[in-house]
Amino acid sequence: MAAPALWQPQEQGLREICTLLEAHISPNSDQARIWQQLQHYSQFPDFNNYLVFLLARGEALHKCLDSNDLDHMEGAMDAIYKICEDVPEELDIDVPGLPERPINVFMPRILQFFQSPHASLRKLALGCINQYIVVMPSALYMSMDQYVQGLFNLAKDPSADVRKLVCSAWVQLIEVRPSILEPHQKNVTELILQANKDSDDEVALEACEFWSAYCDVSMPPEGLREFLPRLIPTLLSNMVYADDDESLADAEEDESFPDRDQDLKPRFHASRLHGSETGEDDDDDDAVNVWNLRKCSAAGLDVLSNVFGDSILPTLMPLIEQNLARTDDDSWKERETAVLSLGAIAEGCIAGLYPYLPQIVAFLIPLLDDKFPLIRSITCWTLSRYSKFIVQSLDHPNGREQFDKILMGLLRRILDTNKRVQEAACSAFATLEEEAAEELVPHLEVILQHLMCAYGKYQRRNLRILYDALGTLADAVGAELNQAKYLDIFMPPLITKWQQLQNSDKDLFPLLECYTSIAQALGPGFAQFAEPVFQRCINLIQSQHLAKIDPTAAGALYDREFIVCSLDLLSGLAEGLGAGIESLVAQSNLRDLLLQCCMDEAADVRQSALALLGDLSRVCPIHLHPRLQEFLTVAAKQLSPQSVKDAVSVANNACWAIGELAIKIGKEIEPVVISVVSCLVPILKSPEGLNKSLIENSAITLGRLSWVCPDIMAPHMDHFMQAWCSALCMIRDDFEKEDAFHGLCAMVAANPSGAVGSLAYICQACASWTEIKSEGLHSEVCQILNGYKQLLGNSGWEQCMATLEPAVVQRLARYGV
């Protein structure tokens, strides 16, 4: 059927679409090549609509679907599948010239192919429908009973490709429409459990995704409980290394094998963020990048342990003990699986395992020296999973002795000859460092000696992880590292590497990050190394700005990560050196470079630049003065509602930097006060979905602005006082909270009557302190509260107190009211 006149294409190329589509569905055609040619025309207006129209009304397509010729049917179904895959939404819109939406025409026809005797057609039909689970058009929703029944019928299909798509459908349904599966939950779970044992690993992997998906959508856990005695052994069985697992070959490589380019994983630098932590590190049970049945099964066991806790131990522990008891060399994979299992349940089952932790750790420590490298590496990871509890047990009998054995065991493995073990040991040691913190101080010398010994032998891939371990050590022990005997061990090798690397070498990234942690830890002790480090950061930023417009002149391609890492290191220097950085800033063009970075189009560059702006505001604000209003204007722009939505971490740092500037420059911040406050108030009034750090920084900055400009702020306090006080209640005691309360007191003093309606909220905020250590602030709060008590009179005050929790009233007594 010809297209309506409205649809007649004007371009010669678009007129060829129909010819190409008919060629695509012809027998023995090169469908991949023809589809690429079709995609070439996607730039033309209404390409998708025209193509959909042809699919819905083209005689050739319908003839092919209705024919008994497999080649014709496959060609037609493949064309439909590609549309469903590339532009599924285009089939679910009204099309000029068609009485109904194309999806309504095709859905019944595609569902009929679930019963085709040809596996290729069943696969294509199922693949088409699965594309619509997430968007769930009404055509699919109305056909859901037929679709679900079709999935049940295909669950044991002879084609592995079809079985895999059936499992994928169940997983997607439970993720986006769990209510659809609730009536069939028991039958679906049974089928998935059987599919989890499928002889085809891809089918088993797709089925295995179901367990995590089930738990993540908070389906009733009781629905899975009866399956646990059969599910847990299945997961353990699938956690055993397959004979063709590429990790087995990789594990044979010792340090004499040079790293290949593909061994170097992509790295992602996390730009500096000021405020509460907003994310968590992801655990990884091994170093393999490929997601496979083994890793998915371990992740499933982890999730189940968090949902069902200790109740899985009676089923799981006998299996673990059985595998650990197999000591012959041929059973090393089963032993490795047992150790992996202990790591997977470390968080979820800790209550039940904790009484036996000394025995578990005592059993694991010798495995650090096992003859099989993959057992050594997984033991490192499993011990790291128990790090928090091992440190908590230091005061228990033999607790410190076990800690020392683990420490030395991991350090030995850091010097392992096997690259896989080196990586696992370094990562595990970094985790232990985070938990142990000052407990590492007595061992600093031996730790640094081992890390620097590894530094001399590691290749590029593991060197990156070693930098992380060294940086984490600096974060953990802080100023304790600032002793000549320690500096002499680790600084000379780092300086040598620093001098060897070119400005275009990406191996600089982890070294810059490591230097950032070291500069912060050493504080003024880093001054002796600061000048060349500072200057190189400036040079890196300048060269990248040049590379952005003229790569040839810069001698390198633009890579903004050089700028981000350099800005973050400069922040580390500012934090470590304090006012000691002033002479370096004064002799450089950092101010102009920083302003340029604050206006960069890349969010991560702006985020790090604004963090540095805040850090410099603290230690040397005088050097920002010549361009102060420009900095303030740029920072304020990052707080608009759209900017917050687009880049919340940038807004967070901008908010923090404005607050830091405010308390240093005082009245000079007046030109931006109203615009900033107008952006902060919506954040405080509608905090849902925003990260905790932005809310806290907004409350603190609002307080700092009130402190330095109370006359400007006081007339507007009724617009934000209640939401602001609620946010202040959530902030921990520290100097930033003190600043905010100085602002609260100053603003109330400037307009006492304006806050009467929010007095209960003010009282709750004042009661949120554990202790106000500043005598001056404590006195101010006392004056404010007593002033209101006097203003309201006893009856009015008692009326206000009656609206508060008794615990709040009790805490207010410390202010003499």
Domains of the chain: 11-194 (1.25.10.10)
Please give the pLDDT value at position 549. Answer: 92
CA distance 78 to 36: 13
pTM of the model: 0.82
Q: Is the pLDDT of residue 629 over 70?
A: yes
State the pLDDT confidence band at 284, using cuts at 50, 70 and 90. very low
- Say if CB 593 and CB 545 are below 8 A apart: yes
The least confident of 61-65, 643-647, 660-664 is 61-65
Tokens 């006081």 appear where?
714
Q: Is the pLDDT of residue 3 over 60?
A: no
| pLDDT tens figures, 88-146 | 877 787 876 677 887 887 888 899 999 999 999 999 999 999 999 998 999 999 999 99
- Say if CB 117 and CB 85 are below 8 A apart: no
Please give the pLDDT value at position 277. Answer: 46
What mean pLDDT is predicted for residues 566-574?
Answer: 96
Please give the pLDDT value at position 516. Answer: 96
Classify residue 267 as left (phi > 0), alpha (psi -120 to 50) or beta.
beta
Q: Is the pLDDT of residue 285 over 60?
A: no
What mean pLDDT is predicted for residues 419-432?
Answer: 96
How many residues in total does the chain contain?
817
Q: Is 359 exposed, middle or buried (0-12, 13-18, 19+ CB in 10 A)?
A: exposed
| pLDDT tens figures, 498-553 | 999 999 999 999 999 999 999 999 999 999 999 999 999 999 999 999 999 999 98
| pLDDT tens figures, 49-76 | 545 545 544 555 667 777 777 877 887 7
Q: Could you tell me how many helices (H) and strands (E) the chain has, helices first?
A: 46, 0
149-158 contact pairs (CB < 8 A, 24+): 150/111, 150/114, 150/115, 150/126, 152/184, 152/187, 152/191, 153/114, 153/115, 154/114, 154/122, 154/126, 155/191, 155/195, 157/119, 157/122, 158/119
Tokens found for residue 696: 């806290």
Please give the pLDDT value at position 276. Answer: 54
Please give the pLDDT value at position 676. Answer: 93
| pLDDT tens figures, 219-240 | 888 889 999 999 999 999 999 9
Using only C-alpha atoms, the chain has a radius of gyration, in whole angstroms, of: 32
- Say if CB 127 and CB 81 are below 8 A apart: yes
Please give the pLDDT value at position 287. Answer: 38
Please give the pLDDT value at position 28. Answer: 52
Report which of residues 91 and 610 the model is more confident about: 610
- Say if CB 162 and CB 115 are below 8 A apart: no
Tokens found for residue 564: 């981000």
CA distance 251 to 128: 40
Tokens 């790293």 appear where?
259
Q: Is the pLDDT of residue 817 over 70?
A: yes
What mean pLDDT is predicted for residues 251-262?
Answer: 68
- Say if CB 296 and CB 288 are below 8 A apart: no
Please give the pLDDT value at position 555. Answer: 86
Please give the pLDDT value at position 234. Answer: 97
Report which of residues 266 and 721 the model is more confident about: 721
* Angle, alpha carbons 220-225-228 (nearest 5°): 135
